[in-house]
A and B are shown apart, each in its own frame.
Chain A
């Protein structure tokens, strides 16, 4: 089983930088994902970390520390369209089954204000 924690809501100003944290507890860790979900829409994939360190993709970066069970998503040069929920998800290997399961956190609702 897993326990994934992330803040419920955050507010940031257009043009600023915001960091959304995610902590998790799991056995059989096999990767951490960030998804973006606009209200009423399907989640879309943002990033994937399986090794410690920072992955950068344009204005978005994601960091992972496996020893600390910690990740963050960094959004730079915020735009109004970045207002959405950001979902942290952990993939866990099912013990002995050779299969994987992806579990989502509750999501962080980010509001970008002018």
Chain B
């Protein structure tokens, strides 16, 4: 059973608000990822990290930012939310040399 948690599961916020999506894992994994997925569409990597103080942008441009101050925690922040940010955000983690990534349940974000 994977131990990776995302909060909140669902969020509806107004345009211009600042939000932080939380992701925590208790498996001690070095690698963590954020994916964005629109309904029925593919997952797009927006951020990843290979360890503490390591953050990289993925292949999909995103206005969000991330931080990795602790191994277990990889929050994603939107400074000013817009309706175009409406999507599902999935966090994942993996051991450094393992091919298997474990996904959280996702945060479904709606910006109105």
Contact = CB atoms under 8 A, between A and B. Distances in A.
Given A99-B56, A101-B48, A103-B59, A43 B42 contact: no
A70 interface: no
Interface residues of B, number: 22
Contacts of B33: 102
Interface in A33-76: 33, 41-45, 48, 50
B42 A104 contact: yes
Q: Could you say which of A43, A48, A99 has the most chain B C-beta atoms within 10 Å of its C-beta?
A: A43
Nearest to B4: A42
Interface in B29-62: 33, 35, 40-45, 48, 50, 56, 58-59
A42 B105 CA distance: 5
A94 to B, nearest CB: 9
Interface string A70-108: 000000000000000001000100000001011111110
Interface of A is mostly: strand
Contacts of B56: 99
A7 interface: no
Contact of A42 (B50, B58, B59, B104): B104
Nearest to A98: B50
Given A41-B105, A99-B50, A107 B42 contact: yes
Contacts of B99: 31, 33, 48, 50, 91
Q: Could you say which of A45, A103, A109 has the most chain B C-beta atoms within 10 Å of its C-beta?
A: A45
Contact of B42 (A45, A48, A99, A106): A106
